[in-house]
Each structure stands twice: as structure tokens, then as C-alpha cells.
Structure 1
Amino acid sequence: MTDDDVLRPPLDPVALNAALARPGGMWRGVDVLPAVGSTNSELLARAKAGAPHGGVLATEHQTAGRGRLGRDFTTPDRAALTFSVLLRVTVPADTLGWLSMLMGVAAVGAIRRVTGVGAALKWPNDVIVPAGARAGGATGDGKLAGILSEADFSDPGAPAVVVGMGVNVSQTRAELPVDTAVSLRGEGATDLDRSALLRAVLAGFGELYVAWSAADGDAEVSGLADAYRGVCVTVGRRVRVNLPGDALLEGTATAVDHHARLVVETPGGPRALSAGDVVHVRPGV
């Protein structure tokens, strides 16, 4: 038996579906592919073909994953938890920005419970291990997971949103793509079971989504906004924000408002920034 057999067992679709696909529940089923270019792209294609709300697509090996700003990435086989969910939304379109943040809140809670790693969120939806929670006293925040939401409005009666996430689970330092990336393994996780982590993320997502959807997408009324603020470490920090057109904004992040915008106090007054307005947010110096 190799180290990969121990550290990187395959996902268990039978157990996942037994735990999650229940009559009247949020999730219709979990489909696990041996390999796929992008779970988001595949699930969007299925959505356009009429796939219903509540489908989950995971893969053992994503070969052409997509992040923000069109960045591509790949991961070793069975080393990451890579999946997407399909939602047929009924809330106002201007609230959909909260969906990737909802996934972030669910992911942070699941990672903390299942693995013991002190995950948090960097606005808007990067799952990180903050410097103060890093294993071995490592300095600097480490990016653990990224989240990407994409929408398809070709069916106006049942618009589809796909929310995808890739969590670094068992990668070694040499297998991570950049110096700022970290894995659960490298951060001293007590459990690297990707099936258990996926169950926990989806259970948490379902609870948050049902409340948010019942509140017609109102993050304040549903409690999502407060839950997000409780795990977002960007608020209170000095930040340097790269805006489109090579503009630079510096100030102190003071809040996340009810529209999911980051409020930055600058010498010229407060600025509310949406994720679409921002190229990158990083700690100021």
C-alpha cells in the first residue's frame, strides 16, 4: 500500500448519496467523475440541458479548473476536494453575489469541524488559513481554497447558478502551485477524508441556502451576513486594493455591507467595493 492509498483514498459516492440525497432534501445526488476539465463547466452544460436544482458534481482529478479572472489550475489525482453545485434560484438577481460567500461560510465551518484547521475567509470568498492559525508558526496567510460562481440565464423561468470550489487537501509543499497556497495536510489537519469534508460542506451549505432563499435572498434577515462577517478576517485590516485599469486604493476595511460589498475607509472617505470592481485585495503595509 502506498502513501497515496492512505492519504488519498477515492471519494465514496455511495456513502455520499446515502447521507445527502434524501426525499425533500436540498441535494438530489452526488455524481463523482474520475476526471474532468472543470466541474463548473460540466455542470453548466448539464444545466443548459435541463439538469434540476440540487445536483452535485465532484471529480477525483480536475485537469482544467478555472478561477477568478480566467486563471487556470490543475491538481494531482485525489489530492483536492473539487466539486460544484447546481442551484435553480428564485431570489432577485442582485442578491446572487452572496452565493459564493455562502459557500465560503459553509466551507470554513466544515473545515474547522472536520479537520481542526483554523480556516477563515478573505473577502470576498478565498478560504485561507490566517497567519495566526498557521501550523508551526508559519507567517503570512495561506490560501486553502477558491470559490467561483457562474450563472446561466438562458431559461428565464429557472435561471441556474453553479458554485464550484477546490480545497487543497493532501498536497505536499512541492505539489502546491504557488508559495501562498497551503493544504490541509500541510496545516496539520486531523482528518484528510474528502468524503467527510464534502458531506459537511454540503450540509452546512444546505442549511444556509434554505434560510437565505426563504428570506428572498436577504442576507441580513437570513443571518448569512452576520455569519459571513464572523469568519471574514479582512474586516479591520489595512488593505491595498488593485482596481481595474491599474488603479490602487489603500485604506482600512471597516465592514461588509448588506450588498456583500467591502467598505474601505480611505483618506477621501469610505468606498464600497463589489467583487467585480476589484482585481485583488491584500494586506496593506
Structure 2
Amino acid sequence: MTPENAPASRWNDLERPPLNESALRHALLQPGGLWTSLDIVPSTGSTNSDLAARAASLEGEGAVLVAEEQTAGRGRLDRSWTSPARSGLFLSVLLRPGKNVPTERWGWLPLLAGVACATGLARAAGVDMSLKWPNDLLVKVNGEERKTGGILAERAGDDAVVVGIGLNVTLRADELPVPGAGSLALANAISTDRDPLLRAVLRSLEQWYGDWREAGGDPGLSGVQEAYAAGCATLGRPVRAELPGERSVIGEAVAIDGDGRLVLSTEGGGRQAISAGDIVHLRPAG
């Protein structure tokens, strides 16, 4: 039988082996820990959509859903996210911050997840990862900033949030969905083994989320605001904020405020806080 007509097998691409579900459960599902269940599916449209649909039937928080392949992954502004099977990490987690965290602070969850991913992967993959406001994960490929991941947080009922994470791990240059994309492999990561990378992301997320929730969702007391600002590649550079209603604002990104908004210093000395929009990093004049 030739490779072209061979039946589908989890071992067809030995460079991209499947995740080890039993080992991951053993490592991550600990008594008293955040993660309460972990399921891996071969393929699905969107882990966020699937987990949100199950949220009402699940008790507590900490459910993790991972897909080896996403066929209709979603990013911000309804953008699509697709990658070859087993080439990345595609997962969603169910969180219920509880009554001690005011709902107006839940908007910090995607930024917190960005900090968790960047810090966890810096250790496990040995890459210098930075954050583009509000929820892009950047690596450098041949000295150029490239998006290698993204985060999408969505409400699931009155008391729950589903946080989705998509990360390109082993994508080659000819597999990138757009020219500005990247992957851990292209960034010369010291490891692209997805099992330890997934463990690192979830353990880091558990730590940052626990500290944030213990602080009542306060971004300052929990250290999330400081950590995000320290790792944010958007700060200190000229940007264009493309806002709803086909409006745009140009200025220098100078701060992340207590509500997680990007603060721009605009022409004439004014300041504007951006709560939603698309940010374009501009080259400095001259």
C-alpha cells in the first residue's frame, strides 16, 4: 500500500506525534489543583465553542479541552485560525473566577493568559516570547517579530469564562497561514515536544490565575499588570489603533492601565485609553 492511499493513522507523521493524554492527566490533574479534567480530541471545529456548550453541565472550574486539529478555530474579530494536525497547541479552559472577583475585572483574563503562556514557554521552549496588546503571542524569526499564538476569552453563561489558546509549534515556513506568522520551531526553540509545552502552559496558567483570584482580581496586587507591561512589545513604540466604526488613532503606547486598556500618548500631549481595537505596530519616524 502506498503512502498516498494509506489509511489515516496517528503514526503517519512521526515528526508530529500525538499528545499523551494519560501522561498529561497524571501530571496535571492533582488533588486540590485547578485542573479537574483533561480531554483530547483528534479534531474539532473550535475548542472554545465546544467547551462553552458544555459549561452549564460542568460543575466548578478547571476543565481543559485540547484538540490535535482545529478546523474552525477563532481569534479576535471573528478571524479564523487553522494549522496542520498536531502542529501546535489548541486548547480551551473553563474558569469560574467566583464572587470574590468583580466581573469588571474579568477582562484581565486574556492578558493574564498571555503572561502565563509567555512565562511558561520561555522556560519550557527556551524562546524569548513577547506580547502584543491585547492577546497576541510574538516570537522573533530572523530578527523579525512574528505572531505565533493568540488568546480568545469568551463568557459562558453568567459565572464562567472560556479561555482559548492557540499556538504554532512546529509549523514550517511553507505551512504558515500568512506571511507575518511564526512558530516556535522557526524561532529556534530548544524543544518543540508538545507534551512538556502543554504542561508548562497549564501549570503557569494555574499559578497566575490562582494569584490573581486570591487578590480579588486586582491586577496590581497579583502582579499581572506589572508582568504584562514588562513583556509587552507594544509599549514604548508608535502604533495605530484601528477602532470600531472605521476610526483610527495614532500615538505612542505608553501604559497598560488598571482596566487592561492600552494608553496612547497622542499628538498635542493628549492621552487616550483603548479598550478594544486592532493595534498595528508602526516603524519609528526616520
Aligned counterparts of 1:20 and 1:96: Cα–Cα separation in 2? 24
Report the Cα offset of residue 109 of structure 1: 1.1
Determine if the alignment matches structure 1 residue 172 to structure 2 residue 172.
yes
For 2:124 and 2:87, the matched residues in 1 are separated by 17
Alpha-carbon distance between aligned partners in 1 of 2:130 and 2:239, rounded to the nearest angstrom:
17
Equivalences for residues 96-245 of structure 1 within 5 A: 96-129=106-139, 134-135=140-141, 137-139=142-144, 141-153=145-157, 156=158, 159-245=159-245
Task: Measure the CA separation in 2 of the matches of 1:110 and 1:24.
Answer: 21
Q: CA deviation at 1:174?
A: 1.3
Whichever residue aligns with residue 71 of structure 1, its letter is: R
Displacement of 1:283? 2.4
Q: Distance in 2 between matches of 1:239 and 1:272?
A: 13
Unaligned runs of 5+ in 2: 1-10
Q: Secondary structure at the match of 1:241?
A: strand
Deviations 1:135-158 (A, max 9, x none): 4x343x2001010000023xx4xx
Q: Aligned with 1:249: secondary structure?
A: strand
Partner deviation per Cα, 1:201-223 (whole Å, 9 max, x = no partner) = 11111111111101111010111
Choose from 56, 77, 98 the match for 2:64: 56
For 2:87, the equivalent position in structure 1 comes to 79
Distance 1:168 1:206 in 2: 21
> Structure 1 residues 51 and 177, CA, compared in 2 at 3 Å: closer, same or farther?
farther
| TM-score, length of structure 1 as denominator length | 0.91
Distance 2:81 2:91 in 1: 14
**How far apart are residue 284 of structure 1 and its match?**
4.6
What is the correspondence of 1:18-29 to structure 2 with a 5 Å cutoff? 18-29=26-37
* Match in the other structure for 1:92: 102
The normalised TM-score by structure 2 is 0.91
1:43, CA displacement in angstroms?
0.4
- Identity among equivalent pairs (%): 46
C-alpha distance in 2, partners of 1:69/1:282?
18
Deviation at 1:238, TM superposition (A): 0.8
Give the C-alpha shift of residue 3 in structure 1.
9.1
Query: By percentage of residues, which structure has more helix?
Result: 1
State the distance in 2 between where 1:138 and 1:105 align: 22
| 1:17 aligns with one of 21, 25, 46 | 25
Q: Deviations over 1:57-81 (max 9, x none)?
A: 0010111101111112221110011
In the alignment, the residues of structure 2 paired with residue 23 and residue 138 of structure 1 have an alpha-carbon distance, to the nearest angstrom, of 43
Q: Is the 8 A contact 1:250 1:284 kept in 2?
A: no
Asked if structure 1 preserves the Cα contact closer than 8 Å seen for 2:137 and 2:150, the reply is: yes
Provide the C-alpha distance between the structure 2 equivalents of 1:51 and 1:172, rounded to a whole number of angstroms: 40
Aligned residues: 272
The alignment yields a C-alpha RMSD, in angstroms, of 1.6
Distance 1:3 1:46, change over 3 A: closer
Choose 46-55 or 197-206, whichever is displaced more. Answer: 46-55
Name the aligned partner's letter for residue 119 of structure 1. Answer: M
Runs of 4+ in structure 1 over 6 Å off: none
Stretches of structure 1 that go unaligned for 5 or more consecutive residues are none
CA distance in structure 1 between the partners assigned to 2:34 and 2:56 by the alignment: 20
Q: What is the one-letter code of the residue matched to 1:57?
A: L
Distance in 2 (CA, whole Å) between partners of 1:160 and 1:284 is 39
Counterparts of 1:246-261 in structure 2, within 5 Å, are 246-261=246-261
1:8 deviates by 1.1
Q: Distance in 1 between matches of 2:117 and 2:282?
A: 22
The answer to whether the 8 Å contact 2:212/2:224 transfers is yes
The question of whether the paired residues in 2 share the 8 Å contact of 1:114 and 1:191 is answered with yes
Equivalent position SS for 1:26? coil
